[in-house]
Structure 1
Amino acid sequence: MIKEEKINSRQFTLLVIMFTVGSSIIIIPSALVNESRQDGWISAILAMIIGLLLVWVYTTIGKRYSGKSLPLIIEQVMGKKLGKLIILLYFFFSFTLAALVLRNFGDFLNTKIMVETPLEAIHIMFLIPIVYAVKLGIETYSRVAEITFPFILLLLFLLMVLSVPQIELTNIQPIFGEGIKTITGGSLAMIGVPIFELFILTTFFSTVNEPKNIKRSFFIGILIGCSILILITLFTILILGVHLTGLKMFPTYVLAKKISIADFLQRVEIIVAAVWGITLFFKLVLCFHASLIMFAKGFSIKNYRILVIPMSIILFIYSLIAYPNSAYFIEFATKTWLSFGMTFGLVIPLIILIISFIKKPSKTN
């Protein structure tokens, strides 16, 4: 008999925060600034507000089908045949996201820290703990999130405090200088990554042992996660300026490299690398785990764990061919991936919600 995995609402909140910050903390400032210039941080606030509205949609669906995971909800709402097709499409979405996240991490280490290490070796090194975590299950890695989260907050606090002497207030002036239309358009970068992607987390609704607290946990998680992204974007603009932030693919890392206190405290960019590595780990674990659950449900496989090893090998290969270079990824993430995210994070959830009001939820699984 397969043991049912359960986590509490606090652990779910932490997973939401980790997922939200994930790959976004180091690449989102550049994407926001390229669109909204010095008002990029305002675009991030707008994206957070839209994210809260979407979380209301996601948690309302979860409440109407209390105790059920996303695959079961889809199958019940859409019927068995169409439901399985949509489940497999969500598998493709979450599995592709896992490949992109893994490649982001590989590109970062390969260009900034381990420049002589082959990309393949970096991916294998990072995949081993991912495979181990998914094998152990969400109960185990959510406990790890509880242990590591205080260190994440401490490192971020240190980064911001140490950055204060470098701040130039003129870098964010004039506020609202780019106009509402530009600010709204700029918010799409953060809405695409990570806001639309958050729907993947509904896969784990059934694991939360306090279903009535899911909505509150999700809201708190996205508020904290997005607030971190807003602050990081603001600090990046204040210190690097619009031109340099928009020019660099990893501006947050560049921000940390500029910190210098009396020629004594320098080279603290390891703080950013540590924060990104830890939060990226959890985002990749959640994406890979969700994709396995979707695949198992789509093909009526009882235990997703038997898929971990073979699918991790496919993920490794997929991550290497996901995109040719970093310049292509920026174009892909801000345009093509936004369309994917809108389909899976907005359109299908709204259809599910509407049908759920028309079609009375079943009491059975």
Structure 2
Amino acid sequence: MGRRGHVGLAARGLAVAAAGALALAAAGCTSQKVGGSDTAGGGGGKIKIGLVTKTDSNPYFVALRESAKAEADKQGAELIALAGKFDGDNDGQVTALENLIQQGAKAIMVTPSNSTGVINAIKQARDRGILVIALDTATDPENAVDATIATDNVEAGRLQGQYVRAALAGKDPHLIMLDGTPGSTVSEQRHNGFLQGIGLPAGDPRILGAEPTNGEQNKAQQATENLLQRNSEVNAVYNLNEPAARGAYAALQGKGLAGQVVIGAIDGGCQGVQDVKDGKTAVTVMQFPKKMAATGVDDAVEFAKTGKKPSGFTNTGAMVITDRPMPGIDSKDTAWGLQNCWG
């Protein structure tokens, strides 16, 4: 992701800027210009709020970043957005956090790729009096940050599992599971919640296999193809998110199996809702990343102005989206979903 050069600066200032850019590039984090000045520049006295996402390309994190920028603009604050180069780039996120500390951020919001890997960098920030909020993904331990604003990911997984079980219409599940990034609390919580919802204990032989996908479509397709080679008697697929679900569908479609499998997902992106409408997935569980980001910015501005810190967990909600409603499961159809989706 390119950074604009600062032409016309004194040689010394140029050297400092170049060194900072090289440090970011070497560590594998990316930045986005999201305010009235370059993210490496000053804010003209504005409150500086940092945002560190897992990537800057995933539509989910794009929506989250854009919402944070809009709310920061509304509040007269400056948003400095950095990201890892890929989901799981812990080193890039650590360097991004350290960079934001040096830039004088008053508050930092972070979506950890590795829920334990960023703990030391978060401690450095908090030791300097910086408010740190986890968005979307909890840290481990959760009290490593001042507050967490996210979907209840156990509940989101449970809702997907309950729906898939109901959609099987009494058939015994033969399940494959497409997980996220190892070490991510989101991946673990959704996985465990799904098993609760579908009513299977961990290790049950009806779970035909599970693979990490980093939430990426291509990796999910390959993982599904690998799992189908071991056992093709699948009738249900758990997916961490909608890109993974698209990968699963592509693999199943290639084997002529898509029509006999109930595919679930979590996210609520506009493409994911369209996939439900088109019959590629049976259900998705919608999250509300724009609400997460806006709430985080509001809390950050409040802290900068008054010193009041948020605390604990704020649940931003989840909604089942399907055109095949099941008894006892609260849901909305894809028309509602397309009106309320993100991305």
Tell me the TM-score normalised to structure 2 length.
Answer: 0.29
| Structure ranking higher on relative contact order (CA contacts 8 Å, 6+ apart) | 1
Task: Say which structure is richer in helix.
Answer: 1
